[in-house]
Amino acid sequence: MDEEALRAELEKHHREGYVWALNCCSQNPVAAEDVLQKVYLKILDGRARFRGEASFKTWLLSLIRHTAADHWRQENRRQATLIEYEQTAEPIGQIEPPDEMLERSRLHAVLAQGLFSLSVRQQEIMRLVFYHDLSLSEAAAVMSVSIGTARTHYERGKDQLRKFLEAGKVIDESKLGRQ
């Protein structure tokens, strides 16, 4: 069947197809429209082909039924995943007091400023290790450097960042257990 004849048949049976999709979707018009759209996409992009083994109407209604069943299976899986997530999700704690939020924000800004004071390689290694949770060997692979080079940049970056934070009175070295 050529595309023009296919479109004519789809237009001819659209109303019946929509009513059947509503029936297959428990009278949910939004789901019925989604199913019908999926059916039309399957037909127009060639994933579903009319072979003439039954009437076009029979074939179309069968395709709608199978697509609706797939739609509900996907929806049920999505719902089950949401329920599982809700059951395992950490409960939201108390809202952080504004003064603590402000202090945390200030610390983030100081830390970002400290990172920008490092060399480019040191910034890269620190971001890969701390923000992207990579090991030194993984970070070395990302940066295309040897593990020794990565370790050197990492240690120097940590030292410079520590000095930057101490100079700005952000951290107290005595609390770190250092002399």
Q: Which pLDDT does position 172 carry in this prediction?
A: 53
Range of the domain at 156: 99-176
Number of domains in the chain: 2
pLDDT (tens digit, 9 = 90+) per residue, 107-120? 888 888 888 889 98
Residue 114 exposure: Cα atoms within 13 Å on the Cβ side: 23
How much is the pLDDT for 122?
92
- Full DSSP string of 16-73: HHHHHHHHHTTT-HHHHHHHHHHHHHHHHTTSS---SSS-HHHHHHHHHHHHHHHHHH
CATH number at residue 119: 1.10.10.10
Q: Which residue has tokens 């952080």?
A: 96
- Is the pLDDT confidence value at 178 over 50? no
Q: What is the pLDDT of residues 115-162, one digit of tens each?
A: 888 998 898 898 888 888 889 998 898 888 999 999 999 999 999 988
Q: What is the CA radius of gyration of the chain?
A: 30
Residue 93 within a domain: no
Residues 27 and 84 occupy one common structural domain = yes
pLDDT for 80: 85
**How far, CA to CA in Å, does 113 sit from each of 43, 134, 161?**
56, 22, 10
Above 80 in pLDDT, residue 163? Answer: yes
Are 46 and 110 members of one domain? Answer: no
Furthest CA-CA distance within the chain = 88
Q: Which two tokens stand for residue 119?
A: 């060399």
What predicted TM-score, i.e. pTM, was given to this entire model? 0.47
